[in-house]
Structure 1
Amino acid sequence: MVSQANDDVTYVNRDIAPTTPEQRQWSLYNYLSLWIGMAHNIPTYLMAGGFIVLGLNWWQAILTVFIGNLIVLIPILLNAHPGTKYGIPFPVLARASFGVIGAGIPAVLRALVGAGWFGIETAIGGQAIQTFLLLIVPHWNHFSNTGTFLGMNLGGWISFLLFWFLNVWIIYHGIQAVKRFETWAGPLVLLLGIGLLIWAVSAAHGFGPLLNAAAKVHGAAFWAVEIPALTSVVGFWATLSLNIPDFTRFAKSQKAQEWGQALGLPLTMTIFSGIGVLVTSATIVVFHHAISDPITLLGHFHNVVILLISLGAVVVATLSVNVAANIVSPAYDFIQLFPRHLTFARGGLITGILGILMAPWLLISNPHIYIFTWLNVYSGFLGPIAAILIADYWVFRHRKLDVKELYEKRSQYFYERGYNPRAIWALVAGIVVSLIGKVVPSLSWLFNYSWFVGFIVAFIVYLILMYSHYGSSMTSN
């Protein structure tokens, strides 16, 4: 048990202390519904469609989503294990490899990506609210178009901020409120997708022309699209591959979280991406042009009751992924920086504010920017972090941690003034090698594999530096 009544109190508070047996109540269903809620979101719906725009055919696009999620499931399960075994969140797990203070480095990198995703998802949720207001408020369209700032008009900003407050309200009710919300929100999102698919098949009298369209890229051109696309799928959940201990620390057992995640992630991501492709294909028949955005598609419906229910489901869907994937971890990450002053709720509020300031919703307007820049660049940062966590816990320490010392200044995890320089050098090496292809054209292939390259380099460098310095595993009880 970690006590807060000592002179190292600045390194622990109630929100990041190890979970108690009473807190470990999350079952297989909770993790299954968590992933259903997170995977069934608008960017997932758009993902395979974006790959088709870039030249893949429908089955290549869906297969890419499935394989990418099988790959990213591996680091997710590896990093989930210590969360369940020791009841600790991601920033505290990172202390074992980066140092009690140095863990702030991966925590900040993860938090900034989370804030960016928060902005993207909040813009999507705001768009649904905007469509809702256009239906029920007279003259809203005229009022809404008054002025434009950072790519959104007045109505868009009002809708964005309304959705923003919904996210913050849930977070202010704590992590258990997140659990309760995800339990019922996840299945609701799946029902919306199935409903759209039934409509599409009925209205188009089939699945539309996309299923008959051949791939536009072949040979070397195919791999020039396929490899970055696969990396972007891995990068899509590279964030959760780090902070999954934030959720698995509440698991009843290893089996509950492992099976819940193994069933919840690859299948739901693939199914929802497939629904997006099939519905988009049908819209070509129904409306004579492709409508890939489900919110835009819902705006074409004339039954007000169905439309309002559908838009409500979109709002719930986006809330579901935003709260779980984009606020929970950054909230814990910011606590790592200032544990004496921040709480879970305050960390979530900081995330929300950064999500506004970063204005990352502009990224999803172009598939090339969204897939080849946003997802692949941050993959080059997060892949090395995942590698260091896994190398330290599974290889160097053989899954043995002294939990009490993770919160103390006078401990093996304090390294040199709170930082482990070997982890920092491994992180830098992984980032540089994975991203150098972004600025050196002859090495562009390294950037196309950014997550994989960064992971392999950081994994090897970290273990070489740690074994050369310590000789063998550091003592852990």
Structure 2
Amino acid sequence: MSALRKRAVWAERQIRLKGDESRHEQTDAWSNRDLIPLPPERRTWGWFHFFGFWAISSLNIANWQTPSTFLTQGLSVRQAMAIIVIGRTLIALFSTLIAWCGLKWHIGFTVQNRFTWGMRASYIPLLQRVLLNFIWNAVQCWNGGRLIAVCITCIWPSFARIENTFGPNMPTTTYEFVGFVVFWFLSTPFLWLRPEKFKIPFQIVCLWCGVGMLAWMTWALAVAKGVGPLWNTGQNIPGGSPWGASWLIMAGINQQIGSLAAGITNGSDFSRYARGRKHYIIGTVLSCMIAGVMVSFIGLVTASAAQKIYGEVFWNPPDLLMVMIDNGNASSKARAGVFFLSAGFAFTAMFENICGNAVAGGIDLAGLFPRYINIRRGAIITFVAAWVVQPWQLINRATTFIQVLSSFSVFLAPIMGMMACDYYLLRKRKIRLSHLYRTRDTDYWFWKGMNWRAIPAWTCGWAPTIGGLVVTVRMDPNPPRALIQLYFMAFLIGFFISATIFYALNVIFPIFEMDVFDETDIFGTFTPTEAAKIGIVPLESTDGFGMGVDGSENRHSSEHVKVDGSGGKA
């Protein structure tokens, strides 16, 4: 072996992940420590973890501004808030539905897709998620940088007048870019934090930003001596509008669900960390219905009161914060108050990005390259990719591209429909865990690693709505009415069409004995109570010999795991 080859082999061994095989943390083409079914000692999330997880997707600028979208379309305040309540209810429902597999079998989205799409075809939804994680991480870093710029201005007011050193071809300013750089570097240390340890950041985020929002609303109401005229906005749909209130409400509900479709799709990535199912349900429902609704309500009331104070409606928090500094003549009190508020928003954006994009991206990348990438390495790669994506180009130039990303639920909803259909109706909530981590003698290889039924089912889910997305993004002046109507219902249409077609294809071209599971807990995944409920022999009850994940003898199971399609059917 040449010296160069020896160095290459040495380098490969150094970067290759290592796991404790006595804990079934084998590292190969399909498995590593972060992909195996999560053992009980790593399931540390209680109800507040899930409350915080969903709260950080609510305690942000986008949710604060949500009512503005509906009011500018001509809907009333009551209609806008009704959309938000209905949307959040459906988000809680779909989140629980999709995440249940992780709660029972303790596997994430990356592995969950293998029994629906096939081992190799599971890369199709995985690559979509990786792309979204890269781009949304960059966009969130840029938006967080705007808040950091406000914080810096509160400390050094002259920063707002910093000279722009970029040329005319750069679609940003030095002021914005410095905020982005500072936000990116401040976020980096949190990438080393494993999901098991997220409780303290969740507590800080919820308390700081929640109290800050309530204090901001209280201040605005006190100074304005009540709400402004915006609060009394009634239905005022323009006469030339082609849409009535019912269609605008339907579109608003679809937008509400679609805005969180990415987080719903990979819900099992985080639900698998739950100490118990009730923790996930309680935390998710409370957060969706309390934090999700209240932030939009507070944003509406604050914007209305600020209209009475400043004579103009400011929906964007950074803009309103800068106005507050200016009207306070940059006094120390004004700057301290604005710093507290902007820092709360910035910290929330920071951890929302780390949890929802960087860590989620790390899990997805681990599914693509299990030998070399775990959650931490994948999160770092996702975060570094922000410099490659260059969000200042996307935000300031390509607003159409951002609109496309926001509408990506057109492609994600069909994936969720297939996941739900396969897990609940076809497999009857039973999975062979050992078959999800190998390509030899596995029920999930199908045809050359691909379940061909998934491709047409997924395609039929987004085909009816893609036309509406295209004409909306292109802003066609007179688009076909039917296309827009389908697009207004894109999430529900995609979900149920794909679920129905996937079910029909499995009935016409059946896969025999789908509702089977391993008789023995070969991973040490389940507590004795969990194993008894499912009908699995727990690891500690085995006699020391059995079949491993790769089909070889394993000293941790009581009998050979069958590879001929049979298995437990309790």
Q: TM-score band, normalised by the shorter chain?
A: over 0.9
Using a 3 Å threshold, how does the CA distance of structure 1 residues 153 and 119 change in structure 2: closer, same or farther? same
For the Cα contact (< 8 Å) 2:254–2:488, is it kept in 1? yes
Q: Which residue of 1 aligns with 2:420?
A: 390
Q: Which residue of 2 aligns with 1:445?
A: 485
**Structure 2 counterpart of 1:20, one-letter code:** P
Offset from partner CA, 1:279-309 (integer Å, 9 cap, x none): 1111111011011111222221332222222
Counterparts of 1:199 and 1:418, CA distance in 2: 60
Counterparts of 2:57 and 2:92, CA distance in 1: 14
Offset from partner CA, 1:86-141 (integer Å, 9 cap, x none): 11111111111011222221122123223333233222210111112223236433
What is the Cα deviation at residue 365 of structure 1?
7.8
* Among 379, 396, 399, the residue aligned to 2:409: 379
Counterparts of 2:258 and 2:224, CA distance in 1: 34
Q: Which residue of 2 aligns with 1:282?
A: 305
Offset from partner CA, 1:351-403 (integer Å, 9 cap, x none): 2244444456777789x96997543x301011001111111111110000111
1:23-62 aligned at under 5 Å gives the runs 23-62=42-81
Larger Rg: 2
Counterparts of 1:116 and 1:229, CA distance in 2: 24
Worse-matched range after superposition: 466-475 or 121-130: 466-475
1:129-140 aligned at under 5 Å gives the runs 129-137=148-156, 139-140=158-159
Worse-matched range after superposition: 340-349 or 241-250: 340-349
Counterparts of 1:57 and 1:370, CA distance in 2: 29
Q: Which residue of 2 aligns with 1:98?
A: 117
Counterparts of 1:473 and 1:360, CA distance in 2: 48
For the Cα contact (< 8 Å) 2:172–2:392, is it kept in 1? no
Worse-matched range after superposition: 26-35 or 82-91: 26-35
Counterparts of 1:57 and 1:364, CA distance in 2: 29
Unmatched segments (≥5 aa) in structure 1: none
* Among 220, 226, 242, the residue aligned to 1:206: 226
Query: Is 1:228 aligned to residue 251 of structure 2?
Result: yes
For the Cα contact (< 8 Å) 1:232–1:372, is it kept in 2? no
* Among 86, 100, 105, the residue aligned to 1:67: 86
Using a 3 Å threshold, how does the CA distance of structure 1 residues 177 and 27 change in structure 2: closer, same or farther? closer
Using a 3 Å threshold, how does the CA distance of structure 1 residues 320 and 241 change in structure 2: closer, same or farther? same
What is the Cα deviation at residue 330 of structure 1?
1.8
Counterparts of 2:514 and 2:248, CA distance in 1: 44
Q: Which residue of 1 aligns with 2:453?
A: 422
Task: Kindly indicate whether structure 1 or structure 2 has the higher relative contact order, using CA contacts under 8 Å at least 6 residues apart.
Answer: 1
**Structure 1 counterpart of 2:286, one-letter code:** L
Using a 3 Å threshold, how does the CA distance of structure 1 residues 263 and 369 change in structure 2: closer, same or farther? farther
For the Cα contact (< 8 Å) 1:208–1:284, is it kept in 2? yes
SS of 1:252 mapped into structure 2: coil
SS of 2:204 mapped into structure 1: helix
Q: How many residues align?
A: 473
Q: Which residue of 2 aligns with 1:320?
A: 351
**Structure 1 counterpart of 2:496, one-letter code:** I
Counterparts of 1:290 and 1:357, CA distance in 2: 36
* Among 459, 464, 475, the residue aligned to 2:504: 464
Query: Is 1:3 aligned to residue 37 of structure 2?
Result: no
**Structure 1 counterpart of 2:191, one-letter code:** I
For the Cα contact (< 8 Å) 2:35–2:108, is it kept in 1? yes
**Structure 1 counterpart of 2:301, one-letter code:** L
For the Cα contact (< 8 Å) 2:359–2:376, is it kept in 1? no
Q: Which residue of 2 aligns with 1:250?
A: 273
Q: Which residue of 1 aligns with 2:362?
A: 331
What is the Cα deviation at residue 322 of structure 1?
1.4
What is the Cα deviation at residue 251 of structure 1?
0.6
SS of 1:77 mapped into structure 2: helix
**Structure 2 counterpart of 1:317, one-letter code:** T
For the Cα contact (< 8 Å) 1:19–1:249, is it kept in 2? yes
Offset from partner CA, 1:4-24 (integer Å, 9 cap, x none): 55xx82100111121111111
Residue identity (%): 25
Query: Is 1:308 aligned to residue 339 of structure 2?
Result: yes
Worse-matched range after superposition: 176-185 or 386-395: 176-185
Offset from partner CA, 1:226-273 (integer Å, 9 cap, x none): 222221101111112111111111111111111111111132111100
TM-score, structure 1 as length reference: 0.92
Worse-matched range after superposition: 463-472 or 198-207: 463-472
Using a 3 Å threshold, how does the CA distance of structure 1 residues 72 and 405 change in structure 2: closer, same or farther? same
For the Cα contact (< 8 Å) 1:75–1:390, is it kept in 2? no
Q: Which residue of 2 aligns with 1:85?
A: 104
Using a 3 Å threshold, how does the CA distance of structure 1 residues 115 and 221 change in structure 2: closer, same or farther? farther
Counterparts of 2:126 and 2:381, CA distance in 1: 14
TM-score, structure 2 as length reference: 0.78
SS of 1:342 mapped into structure 2: coil
Unmatched segments (≥5 aa) in structure 2: 1-21, 329-333, 472-478, 518-570
SS of 1:412 mapped into structure 2: coil
Using a 3 Å threshold, how does the CA distance of structure 1 residues 321 and 450 change in structure 2: closer, same or farther? same
Using a 3 Å threshold, how does the CA distance of structure 1 residues 296 and 454 change in structure 2: closer, same or farther? same
Counterparts of 1:57 and 1:75, CA distance in 2: 27
Counterparts of 1:403 and 1:448, CA distance in 2: 38
**Structure 2 counterpart of 1:12, one-letter code:** S
Query: Is 1:175 aligned to residue 215 of structure 2?
Result: no
Using a 3 Å threshold, how does the CA distance of structure 1 residues 241 and 412 change in structure 2: closer, same or farther? same
Using a 3 Å threshold, how does the CA distance of structure 1 residues 114 and 144 change in structure 2: closer, same or farther? farther
Q: Which residue of 1 aligns with 2:319?
A: 296
Counterparts of 1:124 and 1:49, CA distance in 2: 18
* Among 159, 177, 184, the residue aligned to 2:179: 159
Q: CA RMSD in A?
A: 2.4
For the Cα contact (< 8 Å) 1:384–1:427, is it kept in 2? yes
Query: Is 1:267 aligned to residue 290 of structure 2?
Result: yes
What is the Cα deviation at residue 422 of structure 1?
1.0
SS of 2:485 mapped into structure 1: helix
For the Cα contact (< 8 Å) 1:41–1:317, is it kept in 2? yes
Determine which structure has the larger helix proportion and give its number. 1
* Among 379, 404, 416, the residue aligned to 1:348: 379
Q: Which residue of 2 aligns with 1:143?
A: 162
Offset from partner CA, 1:181-236 (integer Å, 9 cap, x none): 11321222111110111011101111110122222217943244322222110111
* Among 430, 434, 448, the residue aligned to 1:404: 434
SS of 1:152 mapped into structure 2: coil
For the Cα contact (< 8 Å) 1:56–1:215, is it kept in 2? yes
Counterparts of 2:297 and 2:228, CA distance in 1: 13
Q: Which residue of 2 aligns with 1:120?
A: 139
Counterparts of 1:361 and 1:451, CA distance in 2: 29
Counterparts of 1:226 and 1:220, CA distance in 2: 10
For the Cα contact (< 8 Å) 1:55–1:225, is it kept in 2? no
For the Cα contact (< 8 Å) 1:66–1:267, is it kept in 2? no
What is the Cα deviation at residue 77 of structure 1?
0.2
**Structure 2 counterpart of 1:155, one-letter code:** Y
